[in-house]
């Protein structure tokens, strides 16, 4: 059997089901106003929540990196661990109040690393059903048994924890902090209480919370007024609110040292560019001091939700920068997305298998850099589509 004979029918079926994916081509810098696929659009599909990806201060730092190599040349455990990496890890840990932080090239890689490294055969991983694909894949790579609980269902989670406690089974609870396709938050106060009550460990993917939530942008723990304990690991990405690229895991001294020794995606991967690490150190300073930007983002979220509610859109219960509009049918989601693009608003249609069957949606993401005029343009375009649909 050839590759073509196996996959050509699958590709054709995916296209028939309106699930085919294509890569948009950007020809300008990442920003709220961009040229994508030849269209001049307002970008409502980026995770650049604080508008730092094209920030002049970060671009200026790039001009001050002549003493650094573009590539690290090797894995961290060989010769790739540069002083800039080391300093960034220390600064991230200090910021979050954790013992240590460990850098990874991507958030996906970080999530592939933690669960197989920490969990052993006979352990249980208790994972929210709406967790990001990387968390699911990390669990499947582990020798532990994966037990998925209904989204944010604390009764179901506690039932599993009770069963594990009775059988003397070690559990790791795994959850997104902000769920990337729905925009809602994990019930972190209840989850932390359950981890401590039943002696479980906790891995929280705070990719969409760090930099945005909390008075100082420290993410979901700060948002809820909580402090991570020694059995908690926080995964954070640098390609969203930070505006650069890469990721990290923060936690206790022992947990981070365990990842260095046992996490294969860390051990066998070339370290991120020292240039990126240096720029990200400056991005961290901007994030820490971004109270005005965080307030602008909150204002933009409120402005959009008020306008969307006024025109009768089916919003999901999200207080984050992720504002999905549930449409259900994949073909309808694509049609709405294409019409919005022609109206100058780039909004991605999210379809299965990224989201459950019959829950296709528009995933609108807002930035501190969006103006109310830009958001109003989006609302006007959505209103026109809705009126045409119901006429």
Which residues are marked as active site?
180, 208, 240
Cα dihedral: 298, 304, 307, 311 (round 10): -140
The per-residue b/e assignment along 303-332, b for 16 or more CB within 10 angstroms, e otherwise, is bbbebbeeeebebbebbbbbbbbbbeebeb
- Which 3 state secondary structure label does DSSP give 350? strand
Q: Are 333 and 362 in contact (CB under 8 A)?
A: yes
Partners of 283 in beta bridges: none
Q: Are 99 and 256 in contact (CB under 8 A)?
A: yes
Going by C-alpha positions, the residue among 278, 277, 322, 242 that lies closest to residue 55 is 242
Integer Cα distance of 132 and 350 in angstroms: 14
Q: Do strands 322-328 and 247-251 pair parallel, antiparallel, or not at all (unpaired)?
A: unpaired
Q: Are 209 and 219 in contact (CB under 8 A)?
A: yes
């Amino acid at each position: 059997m050839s590759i073509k004979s196996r996959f050509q029918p699958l590709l054709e079926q995916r296209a028939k089901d309106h699930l085919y994916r294509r890569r948009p081509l950007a020809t300008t810098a990442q920003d709220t106003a961009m040229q994508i696929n030849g269209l001049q659009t307002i970008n409502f599909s980026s995770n650049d929540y604080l508008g730092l990806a094209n920030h002049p201060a970060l671009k200026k730092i790039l001009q001050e990196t002549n003493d650094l190599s573009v590539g690290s040349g090797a894995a961290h455990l060989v010769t790739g661990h540069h002083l800039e990496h080391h300093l960034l890890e220390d600064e991230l840990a200090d910021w979050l109040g954790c013992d240590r932080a460990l850098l990874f090239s991507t958030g996906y890689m970080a999530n592939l690393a933690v669960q197989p490294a920490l969990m052993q055969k006979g352990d249980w991983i208790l994972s929210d059903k709406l967790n990001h694909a990387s968390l699911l894949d990390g669990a499947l790579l582990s020798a532990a048994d994966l037990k998925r609980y209904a989204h944010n269902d604390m009764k179901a989670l506690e039932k599993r924890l009770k069963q594990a406690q009775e059988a003397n089974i070690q559990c790791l609870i795994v959850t997104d902090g902000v769920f990337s396709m729905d925009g809602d938050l994990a019930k972190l106060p209840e989850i932390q209480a359950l981890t401590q009550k039943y002696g479980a460990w906790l891995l929280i993917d705070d990719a969409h919370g760090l930099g945005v939530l909390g008075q100082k942008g420290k993410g979901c723990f700060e948002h809820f007024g909580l402090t991570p304990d020694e059995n908690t690991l926080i995964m954070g990405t640098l390609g969203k609110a930070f505006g650069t690229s890469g990721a990290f895991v923060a936690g206790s001294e022992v947990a981070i040292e365990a990842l260095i020794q046992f996490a294969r995606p860390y051990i066998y991967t070339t370290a991120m560019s020292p240039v990126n690490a240096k720029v990200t150190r400056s991005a961290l300073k901007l994030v820490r001091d971004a109270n005005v930007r965080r307030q602008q983002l909150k204002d933009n979220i409120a402005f959009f939700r008020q306008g969307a509610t006024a025109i009768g859109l089916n919003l999901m219960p999200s207080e984050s920068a992720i504002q999905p509009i549930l449409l259900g049918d994949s073909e309808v989601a694509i049609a709405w997305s294409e019409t919005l693009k022609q109206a100058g608003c780039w909004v991605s249609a999210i379809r299965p298998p990224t989201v459950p069957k019959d829950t296709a949606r528009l995933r609108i993401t807002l930035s501190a850099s969006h103006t109310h005029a830009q958001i109003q343009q989006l609302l006007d375009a959505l209103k026109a589509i809705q009126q045409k649909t119901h006429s």
